[in-house]
Structure 1
Amino acid sequence: MREAVIGRSLEGEAVSAGAGLSFRDVGYSIAGRRLIDGMTVDVPDRGVTVVMGPNGAGKSLFLRLAHGLIHADEGAIRWGDAPVGRSVARDQALVFQTPVLLRRSVAANVDFVLKSRGRASVEMRETLLRRVGLTGFARVAARRLSGGEQQRLQMARALATEPRVLLLDEPTASLDPASTAAIELIVRDVALRGVKVIFVTHDVGQARRLADDVVFLANGRAVEQGAAERFFDAPRSPEADAYLQGKLIL
């Protein structure tokens, strides 16, 4: 496994990954349908945690609950000693599968986030664009970027908040192999700088490449979690074993 290390922020200050995530008997329903069912899980505070599972397992809901975009009906969600809330969410950034961008230039998209945090400067913007491989694109309209470039711009916007935790909801699901590789490179760089990454994917190959540890969900529950090497070599739950063999999980 890779070891996450303390990195440096854009301003040269040490970056801490923050406290780990815990779910305790968390339940969540919509219109009477139980989507998260007594979920209990612990996520370490360093490295890349990959969240996997079949469609409908609750992967995206897991991220939204962890970020506080939606609220559990029951149970407790905490980052270290702090319950999920506005102060915790401020130290996190969430990247969706479909980029959400301003209809303006690449520079304006990044500057908007930097200004919201009181850190706007040309130097910081250029540093962010360099980190995501968009040097030279500052004046290009965001809508003219390719899908992979738009996703990298979304990553730059997320990193502009200097998050302690980066939450990624299948950011490469609709990208070609080259664009996927570019996003994975950014993820590795972010983790090495000490930022905690929680990455949702259905791609087993991608999970093998990125994961330090894995949380496997099925039917709204965390049925298995642990070190990536052990998970892929010897899954302990029948659901995970079936999934890795490409079998349908009911």
Structure 2
Amino acid sequence: MAVMRLLEVRGLRHQRLHCCDFSVDAGAVVVVTGPSGAGKTQLLRAIADLDPAAGEVFLDGAGRADIAAPLWRKQVAYVAATPAWWGASVRDHFEPDQFDDATRLLEDAGLEGNALGWPVDRLSTGETQRIGLIRALARSPRVLLLDEPTSGLDEDSRQRVERLFDRLLGDGGAIIVAAHHHGRLDERARTRLVVAPGGIVSRVEQ
């Protein structure tokens, strides 16, 4: 069976960041490593089209420049280490047609189904991380760009979140993750991107 190439990155440049060309197949994991401040977050944000960058990124063969930015960011979803909030409650960060899926995902992540009604200013670090992830998953992304996704989670919560990752990968999605501790994602990765202190990104096949 042929493996589908889901994401391709070519000549990506942003400020001091210079990334090698690489591709990500459906169901694959790419791990991003490097010292703090080297540019791991910058790389993820550039792929997500959150920061202006030269070069080309393709999803299913369609170029980033040919897809409206909101649609691109829905399909190639960046999840920050500390998600931002713009409303008073968790519910404010989901579309009405996402409420049912979000409730199920909240429960799968070990949160209460009524967490949609929680005020965001009462969230713990671990709750914030999980809800930020669920906000992205509720939009049915093809590619998840994860920045320290489980750093604030206890063991049970981390395992629950990893099962959500497994589900996305099993459905033909892909994950690019930058973290100091990658957990099971590290075991699944066949490609590693190494960001040097000067912002040069090289690819290592495992």
Q: TM-score, normalised by structure 2?
A: 0.78
- The letter for the 1-side match of 2:195 is L
Which residue does the alignment assign to 1:49? 30
The superposition leaves residues 121-177 of structure 1 with CA deviations (integer Å, 9 ceiling, x where unpaired) of: 5x3332232232223343333332321122111111111111111111112234444
Instruction: Give the distance between the partners of 2:72 and 2:118, measured in 1 at CA.
Output: 34
Instruction: Say if 2:32 and 2:177, in contact at 8 Å, map to a contact too.
Output: yes
Instruction: Give the distance between the partners of 1:47 and 1:71, measured in 2 at CA.
Output: 26
Quote the offset at 1:205 in angstroms: 5.2
Q: Given the alignment of the two structures, is residue 173 of structure 1 paired with residue 148 of structure 2, yes or no?
A: no
Which residue does the alignment assign to 1:125? 102
Instruction: Say if 2:10 and 2:20, in contact at 8 Å, map to a contact too.
Output: yes
Which residue does the alignment assign to 2:200? 221
Instruction: Give the distance between the partners of 1:120 and 1:224, measured in 2 at CA.
Output: 37
Q: Look at both structures and tell me which one has the larger radius of gyration over its CA atoms.
A: 1
Instruction: Give the distance between the partners of 2:43 and 2:138, measured in 1 at CA.
Output: 24
Distance 1:194 1:148, change over 3 A: same
- The letter for the 2-side match of 1:41 is F
Query: What secondary structure is seen at the aligned counterpart in 2 of 1:187?
Result: helix
Q: Given the alignment of the two structures, is residue 156 of structure 1 paired with residue 131 of structure 2, yes or no?
A: no
Instruction: Say if 1:18 and 1:164, in contact at 8 Å, map to a contact too.
Output: no
**Equivalent residues, number:** 198
Instruction: Give the distance between the partners of 1:102 and 1:56, measured in 2 at CA.
Output: 26
Quote the offset at 1:216 in angstroms: 2.3
Which residue does the alignment assign to 1:28? 14
Quote the offset at 1:66 in angstroms: 0.7
Quote the offset at 1:38 in angstroms: 5.5
1:136 to 113, 116, 128: 113
- The letter for the 1-side match of 2:64 is V
Quote the offset at 1:18 in angstroms: 7.7
Instruction: Give the distance between the partners of 1:207 and 1:141, measured in 2 at CA.
Output: 31
Query: What secondary structure is seen at the aligned counterpart in 1 of 2:107?
Result: helix
User: RMSD of the TM alignment (CA)?
Assistant: 2.9
Instruction: Say if 2:32 and 2:176, in contact at 8 Å, map to a contact too.
Output: yes
Quote the offset at 1:68 in angstroms: 0.8
Instruction: Say if 2:109 and 2:130, in contact at 8 Å, map to a contact too.
Output: yes
Instruction: Say if 1:168 and 1:198, in contact at 8 Å, map to a contact too.
Output: yes
Which residue does the alignment assign to 1:239? none
Which residue does the alignment assign to 1:89? 73
Instruction: Give the distance between the partners of 2:123 and 2:188, measured in 1 at CA.
Output: 26
- The letter for the 1-side match of 2:134 is A
Query: What secondary structure is seen at the aligned counterpart in 2 of 1:90?
Result: helix
Quote the offset at 1:97 in angstroms: 0.3
Instruction: Give the distance between the partners of 1:40 and 1:178, measured in 2 at CA.
Output: 36
The residue correspondences of 1:2-17 to structure 2 (distance < 5 A) are none
2:166 to 166, 188, 198: 188
**Could you tell me the percent identity over the aligned residues?**
31
Q: Given the alignment of the two structures, is residue 79 of structure 1 paired with residue 59 of structure 2, yes or no?
A: yes
Distance 1:70 1:99, change over 3 A: closer
